[in-house]
C-alpha cells in the first residue's frame, strides 16, 4: 500500500492589527484581522520532521505587523498583494501565498456636532473582506483578488413571497405571498485584474446589494441572490464572478389569537436556528481563470 502526502499549507491565522496614522492632528485608524497561508514543497516537514524549508508562522506574524507600517497606507487589497508577493518572491520554498483580511470599520465620534479628530465608534456588524492569492514568480506570476463583505444584516417587512414549491408527504409549510425576509449576507466578488479603484468598487457593490435587496420583489431568496449578482456584474466590468451565501433568518407570525388579539402580519418570532442556507454563484460568460483549486473550499471562494 502506497501512502503519500496530499495538498498542504500552513500559516498564521487571525492576526489582529490596528494601525493608527498620526501624520496630522486628525488621526486615521485601520483595524484588521489578517491571516496568511503559504504553499510550496514542505514535504520533508511532514514526512521527516525536517523544518529547514519552513518559515515559522511567528515570522509570518511579524511580517504582517511590519508591513502594516511599511505597506499599510493603501487599501486592504493593496496591503494583501504586498504581503503575498513578499512571501512568494522573497521566501524561496514558497510558490503560492494567500492573504485573507477582514477590515473592521470605525466611524468618527461626534462631539458638539463635529467629527472628533482622534475618537471613534465601531461600525458594523458588516465587515469588509479581501483575499489575495499570488502564485509563481517572474513573468509567469499570477495574482487573484477577491473582495467581499460578510455579516451584512438585511431585512425587509414586505415584498417577499414563497409559494408554488415542491411538496411531498413531509411538507407542512404553508405558502405565502407576503413575508418578512431577512438574512446575514456573505458576498464575494472576483476581480478580472488588479488595476482597480478598490474603495470605490467596494462602496458601489455594497450599495447595489442593499438597493437590490430593498427594491426587488422577491419570489424566493434564490431569485434575490441571482438578481444581486447580476446587477453587480452588469455595473462592474472589473468583476467576473460573484458568490453569495445567505442564511434565511426566519420570522414566524406569532399566534396572538389565543389571547383574542388580531395579528395582521405585525408581530413575529425571530427564530435563529435551524435556518435555510441559500448559496449561489453568478458568472460572466467570459469569466477568467478562477485560479488554483486551493483558492476554493467546498466550491466557495473563501
Binding residues for urate: 57-58, 162, 179, 222, 248
| Distance separating alpha carbons of residues 158 and 155, to the nearest angstrom | 9
Q: Assess whether 217 carries a catalytic annotation.
A: no
Q: Are 225 and 280 in contact (CB under 8 A)?
A: yes
For residue 145, give every residue at least 6 positions away whose Cβ sits within 8 Å of its Cβ, in sequence order, or none. 77, 80, 81, 130, 131, 132, 133, 190, 191, 194, 196
Q: Assess whether 57 carries a catalytic annotation.
A: yes
Q: Which of 12, 86, 104, 249 is an active site residue?
A: 12
| Distance separating alpha carbons of residues 226 and 187, to the nearest angstrom | 12
For residue 170, give every residue at least 6 positions away whose Cβ sits within 8 Å of its Cβ, in sequence order, or none. none
| Distance separating alpha carbons of residues 41 and 45, to the nearest angstrom | 9
Q: Are 116 and 29 in contact (CB under 8 A)?
A: no
| Distance separating alpha carbons of residues 45 and 202, to the nearest angstrom | 40
Output b/e per residue, 22-53; b: 16+ Cβ within 10 A: eeeeeebebbbbbbbbbbbebeebeeeeeeee
Count the alpha carbons within 13 Å of 107 in the hemisphere toward its beta carbon: 9
| Distance separating alpha carbons of residues 126 and 117, to the nearest angstrom | 24
Q: Are 129 and 103 in contact (CB under 8 A)?
A: yes
Q: Which of 27, 33, 57, 61 is an active site residue?
A: 57
| Distance separating alpha carbons of residues 233 and 241, to the nearest angstrom | 7
Q: Which of 104, 236, 249, 250 is an active site residue?
A: 250
Q: Assess whether 250 carries a catalytic annotation.
A: yes
| Distance separating alpha carbons of residues 232 and 201, to the nearest angstrom | 10
| Distance separating alpha carbons of residues 134 and 130, to the nearest angstrom | 13
Annotated binding site: 57-58, 162, 179, 222, 248
Annotated binding site for O2: 57, 248
Annotated binding site for 5-hydroxyisourate: 57, 162, 179, 222, 248
| Distance separating alpha carbons of residues 140 and 263, to the nearest angstrom | 64
Residues involved in catalysis: 12, 57, 250
Amino acid at each position: 500500500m502506497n501512502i503519500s502526502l496530499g495538498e498542504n499549507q500552513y500559516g498564521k491565522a487571525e492576526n489582529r492589527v490596528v494601525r493608527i496614522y498620526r501624520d496630522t492632528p486628525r488621526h486615521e485608524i485601520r483595524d484588521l484581522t489578517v491571516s496568511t497561508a503559504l504553499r510550496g514543497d514542505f514535504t520533508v516537514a511532514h514526512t521527516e520532521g525536517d523544518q529547514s524549508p519552513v518559515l515559522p508562522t511567528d515570522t509570518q506574524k511579524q511580517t504582517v505587523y511590519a508591513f502594516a507600517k511599511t505597506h499599510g497606507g493603501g487599501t486592504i487589497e493593496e496591503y494583501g498583494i504586498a504581503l503575498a508577493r513578499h512571501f512568494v518572491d522573497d521566501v524561496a520554498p514558497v510558490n503560492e501565498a494567500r492573504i485573507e483580511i477582514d477590515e473592521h470599520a470605525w466611524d468618527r465620534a461626534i462631539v458638539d456636532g463635529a467629527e472628533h479628530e482622534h475618537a471613534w465608534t465601531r461600525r458594523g456588524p458588516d465587515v469588509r473582506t479581501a483575499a489575495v492569492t499570488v502564485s509563481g514568480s517572474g513573468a509567469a506570476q499570477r495574482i487573484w483578488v477577491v473582495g467581499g463583505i460578510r455579516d451584512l444584516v438585511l431585512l425587509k417587512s414586505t415584498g417577499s413571497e414563497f409559494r408554488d414549491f415542491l411538496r411531498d408527504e413531509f411538507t407542512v409549510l404553508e405558502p405565502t405571498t407576503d413575508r418578512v425576509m431577512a438574512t446575514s449576507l456573505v458576498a464575494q466578488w472576483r476581480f478580472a485584474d488588479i488595476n482597480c479603484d478598490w474603495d470605490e468598487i467596494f462602496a458601489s457593490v455594497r450599495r447595489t446589494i442593499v438597493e437590490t435587496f430593498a427594491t426587488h420583489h422577491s419570489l424566493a431568496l434564490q431569485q434575490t441572490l441571482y438578481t444581486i449578482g447580476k446587477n453587480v456584474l452588469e455595473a462592474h466590468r472589473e468583476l467576473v464572478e460573484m458568490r453569495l451565501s445567505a442564511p434565511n433568518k426566519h420570522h414566524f407570525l406569532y399566534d396572538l389569537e389565543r389571547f383574542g388579539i388580531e395579528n395582521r402580519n405585525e408581530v413575529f418570532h425571530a427564530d435563529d436556528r435551524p435556518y435555510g442556507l441559500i448559496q449561489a454563484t453568478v458568472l460572466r460568460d467570459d469569466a477568467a481563470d478562477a485560479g488554483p483549486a486551493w483558492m476554493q473550499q467546498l466550491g466557495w471562494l473563501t
